[in-house]
Amino acid sequence: MPEHSAAVPPRPAPAGAGRDGRALPPASGAWREGDPPGRRRFADLGALDLVNGDRLPGVRLAYETWGQLNAARDNAVLVLHALTGDSHVTGAAGPGHPTPGWWASLVGPGAPIDTGRWFVVAPNVLGGCQGSTGPATRAPDGRPWGSRFPQLTVRDQVAAEARLADALGLDTWALVVGGSMGGQRALEWAVGQPQRVRGLVAVATNAQTTGDQIAGLHTQLAAIAADPGYAGGDYYDAPDGHGPHAGLGLARQIAHHSYRSAAELDARFGRAAQGAEEPLRGGRYAVQSYLEHHGDKLVRRFDANSYVTLTRTMITHDVGRDRGGVEAALARVSARALVVAVDSDRLFPPAQSARIAAGIPAAEPLRMINSDFGHDGFLVEADQLGTLVADFTATR
């Protein structure tokens, strides 16, 4: 299978420092050609016609694998990441991977998705910024796509992942698993290509984005667009420290508030001040500092245009579009299915998972994670989710 290799020199390290003494972040936190590849492999998959009529002239997906494909080629598992995730599902941080694996509690030797039994594949989503084709990658003219990058849908992303499966010689997946935005893609796989999916695990996700969810996602897009550093999406040549950091950081703060529950934030922070700061004299509450911290972390490892692109795919997500509606689409799923919700999730409320479980013919009854952590419970509550997944895969 053709693979892509980095052939240009690495970008220089950021120069200077901010007021906190940390190095100023580059205009984009995207992985770029010339950066250490880490465990990534790259598949060049050709041109892709998009749902909206546009065409990407060349698609590349970065991906990682663990375990061994068996002789029958029937033990492959596809793991799909959420909005700001990537292909590094499990493994240590290191060159090319600024953070450790984001779902190491679920995937690995002896884990619920045991890499001693399963051949696990995890791609960076089309439109992402960690090696796959996206706004930060080079267009045919050699410049970053930037504002010219076309609008994608979840169906386009799954079409690219199907190309990857073809390139790897995988006709079917024993299991497709994803949470949040990854759950949207997992569900689209099972609806749109039922013959290729034998098992489905959809966690804390939905079949169709609601008006309330669109409203919350819209505010994040507006925060990025309002940042002068965004420059309409063409900021990649800006000097270090001058990218759309304020807008992306604010978008992350808005999102992170929806990822956690009111009960957890009240119990953890309440009205406590941040250190010695006095809120009545212009200081911050601890919860404000917490949100700012998460905004700053994302700015240093992500790309604003990818955030916009992927958020738009979530806004337009609807498995029932042109399929007779959601229930008709879910009825097409032939896979055994495990649908999991988090009881305190205010981003993807449990009722949306219940709709999925009720609509898939071979779905088990809805399973519930009990957690004060809100939507992030699908990442935090490793023991609960792991037990559910292990029991589900044990009955294969």
Catalytic residue numbers, as ranges: 180, 345, 375
Dist. CA 126–CA 153, nearest whole Å: 10
265 CA to centre of own chain:
23
Backbone angles phi, psi at 318, to 5 degrees: -165, 105
Angle at 98 between CA 250 and CA 306, to 5 degrees: 45
SS3 (DSSP) at 161: helix
Q: Which long-range contacts (CB under 8 A, 24 or more apart) does 53-59 make?
A: 54/150, 54/151, 55/150, 56/133, 56/150, 57/140, 58/133, 58/140, 59/126, 59/133, 59/160, 59/163
CA neighbor of 334 nearest in space, from 193, 142, 154, 171: 193
The amino acid at residue 141 is D
Residue 240, CB-side half-sphere exposure with 13 Å CA sphere = 14
* CA atoms of 341 and 202, how far apart (whole Å): 9
Q: Are the beta carbons of 388 and 338 closer than 8 angstroms?
A: yes
Burial (0-12, 13-18, 19+ Cβ within 10 Å), 253: buried
Is residue 197 within 8 Å of residue 335, measured between CB atoms? yes
Indicate the Cα dihedral angle 13, 17, 23, 27, nearest 10°: -70
Nearest to 123, CA basis, from 156, 90, 86: 86
Radius of gyration of the chain (CA): 21
Closest residue by Cα to residue 178 from 382, 24, 379, 380: 379
